[in-house]
Amino acid sequence: MLCDICGKREATVHLTEVINNQMTKLHLCEECAREKGAEMEEHFGLANLLAGLADLGQPLEAAKEKKLKCPSCGLTYEDFKKLGRLGCGQCYDTFKAYLVPLFKRIHGSDAHVGKVPRKRDKVLKTKKVNVEQLKKRLQRAVELEEFEEAAQLRDEIKKFEGR
């Protein structure tokens, strides 16, 4: 299949656009796809997406009233909507009231709920086994009235348990 734009090279990229419930398919070569990608980024960049989501469900007057400005870097909320990026760490606190609903819409939650590394699970299981063994040894030392060893074992258990 040849590229729909240049008609010369083999099409390797296939795009489907849906606009007003009408589906258009484009079959592009790599070169034309790069040009089309740059063109789409200009028109529909990440900043535009974030700006659109930021105003979703809010009256236009409320969006215009957002004249907040970061005291640290001077970024305004309007600038954030244009750029799609915050200027500094203080921006998160300054624009928090507007960012939390935005994060909920984009990610489905305003708190990170990621995965726990497998290695961490193994380490926790190993610690649990070690603590159980140390507790048994501590109990035995107390029964035999070996209080110095019992004190050392107690300190090791506390270290493992993070106390």
Neighbours of 89 (CB within 10 A): 10
- Would you state the pLDDT for residue 54? 52
pLDDT value for 65: 41
Q: Which residues contact 157 (CB under 8 A, 6 or more apart)?
A: 131, 134, 135, 138
pLDDT level of residue 43 (50, 70, 90 thresholds)? very low
Q: Report the distance separating Cα 46 and Cα 51, nearest Å.
A: 8
Per the CB < 8 A criterion, the answer to whether 129 and 136 are in contact is no
pLDDT of residue 123: 65
Render pLDDT for 106-146 as a digit per residue (tens, 0 to 9): 777 777 777 766 666 666 666 777 788 888 989 999 999 99
Structure confidence by residue, pLDDT tens digits, 58-102: 544 454 445 788 999 998 888 888 888 888 989 888 888 888 888
Q: 103 or 155: whose pLDDT is higher?
A: 155
The reported pTM is: 0.36
Q: What is the residue whose two structure tokens read 């870097």?
A: 73
